[in-house]
């Protein structure tokens, strides 16, 4: 049996026993540990999830199929808050009507053949070593944080210690950074017998078949940027069980060097471009071509190269 041929419809139609046999077979063939199966349901949908582990990295089964990817901006119907917010941004920056802008900032609709694969639950950062909030180096930085102000501080040689805070002063993330290039990041994955996603695979992994602008729908909270909301639909795992498309500062590299997905490096948020523009960067099909080309150029700079490791199924 070729597990790569497993479609989403076939996977969800299986009995529990049959699904467990398939998942166990995948684990055995690819040297992983099966961590369990579960069924997750939402409004009008239900999906069976399978979780695996490989040397501490969590993977989820993303079945294949023949999905339609991309987004047609003419279908977008902004709610009142989105329309008003975009109108302000358009007036300030000279932007076209919202449907044209959304269409320009998302990949075109297309039908693709997608094999089943295992995709890492979390993005993998070969540039940084995570640190616990109680690490002495992190605690020293946290002690000097200004109350009521969230964000990030870079300290140490070359700003190599990154500590992020929420507005309550709690440490949400801390890392020691070792800068690596795109080529180094891809080579690091290859040494682990992994690779990152193609742009099409990233969209399929993120959207999980959703036809809406975002993987959870067409709308978003109207009172802040994604970074301001520590809970909400963007912070929840998607149908496959992936933590993906959650923070525009954490854009992910793909196999195409100039195509990044899942964010814009925080440009829209940091620049105060407007809430709708900030949230749009989390759209499943979001594309910032200028940002991607800049990152791939000699002038481009990134202190992390986030990847989404893939195990190809046989």
Are residues 121 and 258 both part of a single domain?
yes
- Who contacts 58 (Cβ-Cβ below 8 Å, separation ≥6)? 35, 51, 52, 120, 121, 122
pLDDT tens across 97-142, in order? 999 999 999 999 999 999 999 999 999 877 666 788 888 888 888 8
Predicted confidence at residue 58, as pLDDT, reads 95
What mean pLDDT do residues 16-36 have?
97
Are residues 169 and 291 both part of a single domain?
no
Are residues 96 and 146 both part of a single domain?
no
Are residues 183 and 153 both part of a single domain?
no
In 3D space, the residue among 167, 146, 174 whose CA is nearest the CA of residue 224 turns out to be 167
pLDDT tens across 203-216, in order? 999 999 999 999 99
| Structural domains of the chain, count | 2
What mean pLDDT do residues 5-33 have?
97
Are residues 153 and 42 both part of a single domain?
no
Backbone phi and psi for residue 68, each to the nearest 5 degrees, phi listed first: -95, 120
**What's the burial of 15, exposed, middle or buried (CB within 10 Å: 0-12/13-18/19+)?**
exposed
Are residues 169 and 239 both part of a single domain?
no
What mean pLDDT do residues 14-20 have?
97
Are residues 154 and 191 both part of a single domain?
no
Are residues 152 and 162 both part of a single domain?
yes
Are residues 94 and 193 both part of a single domain?
yes
Predicted confidence at residue 173, as pLDDT, reads 78
- Flag the least confident range among 63-72, 220-229, 266-275, 297-306: 297-306
Are residues 285 and 184 both part of a single domain?
yes
Q: Higher confidence at residue 221 or residue 1? A: 221
Predicted confidence at residue 299, as pLDDT, reads 83
Predicted confidence at residue 180, as pLDDT, reads 76
pLDDT tens across 173-220, in order? 787 777 778 998 898 889 889 999 999 999 999 999 999 999 999 999
Q: Could you give the count of Cα atoms lying within 13 Å of 147 in the half-sphere of its Cβ?
A: 0
- State which residues form the domain around 217: 3-127+179-312
Q: Structure pTM?
A: 0.86
Structure tokens at 236: 């929840």
Are residues 79 and 96 both part of a single domain?
yes
Are residues 267 and 170 both part of a single domain?
no
Of the candidates 158, 177, 196, which is a domain's last residue? 177
Alpha carbon distance 133, 307 (integer Å): 24
CATH assignment at residue 95 = 3.90.1580
């Amino acid at each position: 049996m070729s597990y790569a041929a497993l479609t989403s419809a076939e996977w969800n139609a299986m009995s529990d026993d049959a699904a467990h046999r398939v998942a166990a077979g995948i684990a055995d063939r690819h040297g992983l540990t099966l961590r369990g199966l579960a069924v997750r349901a939402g409004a009008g949908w239900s999906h069976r999830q399978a979780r695996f582990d490989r040397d501490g990295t969590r993977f989820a089964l993303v079945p294949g199929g023949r999905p339609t990817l991309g987004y047609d901006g003419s279908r977008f119907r902004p709610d009142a808050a989105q329309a008003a917010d975009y109108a302000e941004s358009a007036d300030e920056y000279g932007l076209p009507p919202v449907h044209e802008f959304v269409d320009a900032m998302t990949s075109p609709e297309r039908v693709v053949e997608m094999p089943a694969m295992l995709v890492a639950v979390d993005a993998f950062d070969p540039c940084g070593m995570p640190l616990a909030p109680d690490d002495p180096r992190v605690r020293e930085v946290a002690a000097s944080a200004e109350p009521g102000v969230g964000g990030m501080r870079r300290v140490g040689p070359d700003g190599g210690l990154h500590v992020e805070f929420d507005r309550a002063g709690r440490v949400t993330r801390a890392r020691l950074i070792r800068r690596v290039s795109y080529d180094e990041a891809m080579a690091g994955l290859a040494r682990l017998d992994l690779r990152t996603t193609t742009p099409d695979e990233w969209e399929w992994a993120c959207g999980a078949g959703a036809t809406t602008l975002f993987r959870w729908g067409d709308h978003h909270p109207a009172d802040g940027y994604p970074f301001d909301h520590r809970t909400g639909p963007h912070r929840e795992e998607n149908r496959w069980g992936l933590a993906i498309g959650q923070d525009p500062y954490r854009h992910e590299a793909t196999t195409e060097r100039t195509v990044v997905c899942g964010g814009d490096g925080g440009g829209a948020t940091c620049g105060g471009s407007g809430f709708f523009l900030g949230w749009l960067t989390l759209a499943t099909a979001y594309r910032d071509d200028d940002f991607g080309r800049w990152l791939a150029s000699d002038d481009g700079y990134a202190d992390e190269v986030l990847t989404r490791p893939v195990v190809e199924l046989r």
